[in-house]
Amino acid sequence: MTRQEVADQIKDILEHYYPETPIPLDHTDPYTLLIAVLLSAQCTDERVNKVTPHLWELADNPSDMITKDVDDIKAIIRPCGLSPRKSQAIYDLSHILLEKHDGKVPKDWEALEALPGVGHKTASVVMAQAFGVPAFPVDTHIMRLAYRWKLTASKSNVVRIEKDLKKLFDPQLWNKLHLQIIFFGREYCKARQHDPYICPICSKFGRKSMF
């Protein structure tokens, strides 16, 4: 069976298990989504969703955020980890949005990735989930499963993994598919204590990699 044939069947399995893909991070607009994704670096979505309501009480738009003290932002987001760096990034990017983008999150790859604390993965999530632009954000779940399912030969090269996955799936599916893979990885194909004989995908294709 070719890699493409495996990918096509995996797509159908994921669609069966997750026909609906709600966005995991709570938000109300592109700005709050951007901040939530930034906070999710090395942090669970569940924890971010517990923290952000308190942050939005402080400020939920760039105009209000730049009037706050960075230490106040840091105190609220501390449970998400890396709070000194993340709080400064939130403050700085809010300034930039006001100075360069009329206070709005830009619908532009280069402009997004130029913001403090925003890398390609964060930009990909915002482009996909806020603006509906086809993107394939690669997080740790997708990196692990793409290799486990032999959809890529790379364990850790995010650029290579993203490129390989984009070749295998129609661009119209990318935004939904990356969420389906994340949901599936959390529930059925976990990093630890993974049983390939009961996993709905690994049991079908003999995918036993424990990466």
Is 211 within a domain?
A: no
57 and 146 together in one domain: no
What does the pLDDT read at residue 187?
Answer: 94
Q: Which of 91, 115, 131 is a domain's end point?
A: 131
144 and 127 together in one domain: no
In sequence order, what DSSP letters do the residues of 14-54 get, joined into one string?
Answer: HHHH-S----SS--SSHHHHHHHHHHTTTS-HHHHHHHHHH
- Cβ contact 42:122 at 8 Å: no
188 and 153 together in one domain: yes
What does the pLDDT read at residue 210?
Answer: 45
What does the pLDDT read at residue 211?
Answer: 44
| Domain containing residue 15: CATH number | 1.10.1670.10
- Cβ contact 180:18 at 8 Å: yes
Cα–Cα distance, 91 to 62 (Å, whole number): 8
38 and 56 together in one domain: yes
115 and 159 together in one domain: no
Residues with catalytic annotation?
121, 139
Of 169, 165, 186, the C-alpha closest to 24 is: 186
What does the pLDDT read at residue 108?
Answer: 94
Residue type, 74: K
Q: Read off the pTM.
A: 0.92
Length of the chain, in residues? 211
Cα–Cα distance, 194 to 188 (Å, whole number): 8
Is 191 within a domain?
A: yes
Q: Which of 102, 131, 160 is a domain's end point?
A: 131
What does the pLDDT read at residue 194?
Answer: 87
13 and 98 together in one domain: no
What does the pLDDT read at residue 209?
Answer: 56
* pLDDT-flagged residues of the chain (< 70): 208-211
Is 210 within a domain?
A: no
What does the pLDDT read at residue 208?
Answer: 62
Domain of residue 194 covers 3-21+136-205
Average pLDDT, the chain: 95
What is the count of structural domains for the chain?
2
